Chain A
Amino acid sequence: MSGLAAQVGWVARRSIRRSLRQPAIVMPAIVFPLVLLAVNSGGLEAATKLPGFPTTSYLDFAIAVCFLQGALFATTTSGTELAHDIETGFLSRLSLTPLRPVAVLVGQVAGAVTIGVIGSTLYLVVGLIAGVRIEAGPGGVVVLAALILLICVGFAGIGAFMGLRTGSGEAVQGVFPLMFVLFFLSSINLPRDLIEVDWFRTIATWNPISYLVEALRSLIITGWDGTALWRGFAVAAAFVVIGFAAARSALLARMERT
């Protein structure tokens, strides 16, 4: 086990160092969600006057979206980095070493997850400074952090699968719009019960992203909402399981070819 941990640590250190050394990866992941938060919380503040809106501050409502956007960047970062390693032949050389596939996979996504976690910490600090109140208290912050970490890991797993499957950074970037569509067709901008258009509400109800954002949001604006939390954790765990199972299978297929 300690051997496996050492292997994961070695690959993870490289992945984290490489990701953090690229401002072109780090900066958009941190700045973009904060800019959107500022713009949307100002532009949609009027929506809080709608009957049934769950809070009087759109900032409180919108900050959960930042965490998901940060995780979305984890998807493309992990996929692009893995694809880069395939394109340069690094992964092929790695497969000739005694490193276990699971160590390669877990270690490789560490950089993307680290950026996601750093970004989320910053969003939370900026949000608290701007006046966000976490209704669930300090315990809620801990649960929020755990859920964000799980979401980042799950999304990074999906990104790793895409990177391993396509072996092309460009192709991974091409999948970004699809993830983007998934985000916008959810309850990120309004609670589902306030979405008037039937087809949109149906899509948002079937969209797993809605349950992630609603779980994060519940800790901020409601307090402790067991239903929202179990659904959010279940969806995040499903992303982790599906993402890493698919990525492991793609990695084994690629190593076999090597």
Chain B
Amino acid sequence: MLVTARWVAGRSLKHAFKNPAILVPSILFPLVFLLAFAGGLSSVGDTPGFTFRSGYTSFQFVFVFLQAAAFGGIFAGLGIAVAFETGFAQRLLLAAPRRSGILLGFLAAGLVRYMVTAVMITVVGLLAGMEVDGTAPQFLALVALGLVTNAAATLFSLGYCLRVQSVAAAPAMQTPIFLTLFLAPVYVPLSLLDGWIHAVASWNPLTALLEAGRGFISGAPDHSALAFGLGFALVAVMGLWAVRGLRRAEAGEA
């Protein structure tokens, strides 16, 4: 299984790094969001009741960091849809001794790609004046949260693409991720949201991840256990979804 995973991950990464059209948008979009939100909306940090101590750039950095993880996962999983369209995936299914290695390979490639994006966002964030009040282990915990989010999104994307087997699946996958992300406390803390969006954000699992991430960067951890619990639960559920998708593809049901 590991041999298959390593080969699939290597091929996927080589393809991504050789094609700027694939890699650049996944890096460019989070950077634009970071600059637009942290730069254009910085005065939102002066809103009465906004008490996040590390400043608005750090507040937005955590959102963009997790957003990049989620969308990076979607794009990484899309690789298998491309493979189906070219006929490569069918050959891969025939040749792989342990097919679950295919999932593991795409998952690993997604994580590596996300790490590249995460480094870029962090560098730009620091250049833009982001303050990190948390300790090094707390920052690593934020990175871990990003990796868990990326893994869950990649597995969701793989499961979907294994069923649809077409790149046309991309918009349908992006919509629920987009909604989940933006129905969380993106611009201000949960306590400053009112009405229906407060109710929805309170039940949104991403809210716990965001609050935990913001807690890590400000050095005041908040909801950490809940966030990791939810994150690992998401990975487990999406892993099951991806494995069942693989079984359907093997059976030729898609």
In chain A, positions 34-69 with a C-beta closer than 8 Å to chain B are 35-36, 39, 42-47, 49-50
Complex contact A39–B40 (CB within 8 A):
no
B228 contacts the other chain (CB 8 A): no
Complex contact B25–A177 (CB within 8 A):
yes
Complex contact B182–A184 (CB within 8 A):
no
Q: Pick from B40, B49, B185: contact of A184, CB below 8 A.
A: B40
A-side contacts of B36, CB under 8 Å: 184-185, 189
> Nearest Cβ in chain B — how far from A57, in angstroms?
12
Q: Give the docked Cα–Cα distance between A181 and B24 (Å).
A: 13
Can you name the residue of chain A whose Cβ is closest to the Cβ of B31?
A: A181
Give the secondary structure class of B's interface.
Answer: helix
Given A42-B197, A43-B187: A200 in contact with B35 (beta carbons within 8 A) = yes
Q: Pick from A45, A189, A190: contact of B194, CB below 8 A.
A: A45
B32 contacts the other chain (CB 8 A): yes
How many residues of chain B are within 8 Å of chain A by beta carbon? 35
B86 contacts the other chain (CB 8 A): no
Complex contact A197–B44 (CB within 8 A):
no
Can you name the residue of chain A whose Cβ is closest to the Cβ of B179?
A: A35
Complex contact A190–B43 (CB within 8 A):
yes
Complex contact B197–A189 (CB within 8 A):
no
Complex contact B40–A43 (CB within 8 A):
no
Complex contact A46–B40 (CB within 8 A):
no
B188 contacts the other chain (CB 8 A): yes
Q: Give the docked Cα–Cα distance between A188 and B33 (Å).
A: 13
Complex contact B32–A47 (CB within 8 A):
no
* Residue among A50, A180, A194, A196 with the highest chain B CB neighbour number at 10 A: A196
In chain B, positions 4-51 with a C-beta closer than 8 Å to chain A are 21, 25, 28-29, 32-33, 35-36, 38-44, 46-50
Complex contact B49–A42 (CB within 8 A):
no
* Residue among B25, B43, B46, B182 with the highest chain A CB neighbour number at 10 A: B43
Q: Give the docked Cα–Cα distance between A137 and B179 (Å).
A: 34
Q: Pick from B32, B47, B171, B195: contact of A28, CB below 8 A.
A: B171
Complex contact A189–B46 (CB within 8 A):
no
> Nearest Cβ in chain B — how far from A32, in angstroms?
9
Complex contact B49–A50 (CB within 8 A):
no
Given A39-B197, A49-B48: A190 in contact with B41 (beta carbons within 8 A) = yes
Given A49-B48, A189-B36: A196 in contact with B197 (beta carbons within 8 A) = no
Complex contact B197–A204 (CB within 8 A):
no
Complex contact B196–A42 (CB within 8 A):
yes
B141 contacts the other chain (CB 8 A): no
* Residue among B36, B40, B49 with the highest chain A CB neighbour number at 10 A: B40
Complex contact B188–A46 (CB within 8 A):
yes
B183 contacts the other chain (CB 8 A): yes
Complex contact A197–B47 (CB within 8 A):
no
Q: Pick from A47, A177, A180, A181: contact of B44, CB below 8 A.
A: A47
B119 contacts the other chain (CB 8 A): no
Complex contact A194–B43 (CB within 8 A):
yes
Q: Pick from B28, B33, B39, B196: contact of A197, CB below 8 A.
A: B39
B-side contacts of A28, CB under 8 Å: 171
Given A35-B179, A180-B32, A181-B32: A47 in contact with B187 (beta carbons within 8 A) = yes
Known: A50-B43, A177-B25, A184-B33. 12 other contacts (CB 8 A): A35-B178, A42-B195, A43-B197, A47-B41, A47-B44, A50-B44, A174-B21, A180-B32, A195-B42, A196-B43, A197-B40, A200-B40
29 contacts between A and B (CB under 8 A): A35-B182, A36-B182, A42-B194, A42-B197, A43-B193, A44-B41, A44-B187, A46-B50, A46-B194, A47-B41, A47-B188, A49-B48, A50-B43, A50-B44, A177-B32, A180-B29, A181-B28, A184-B35, A185-B40, A187-B40, A189-B36, A190-B43, A195-B39, A196-B42, A197-B40, A197-B42, A200-B35, A200-B42, A204-B40
Interface residues, chain B, with chain A CB atoms under 8 Å away: 21, 25, 28-29, 32-33, 35-36, 38-44, 46-50, 171, 178-179, 182-183, 185-188, 192-197
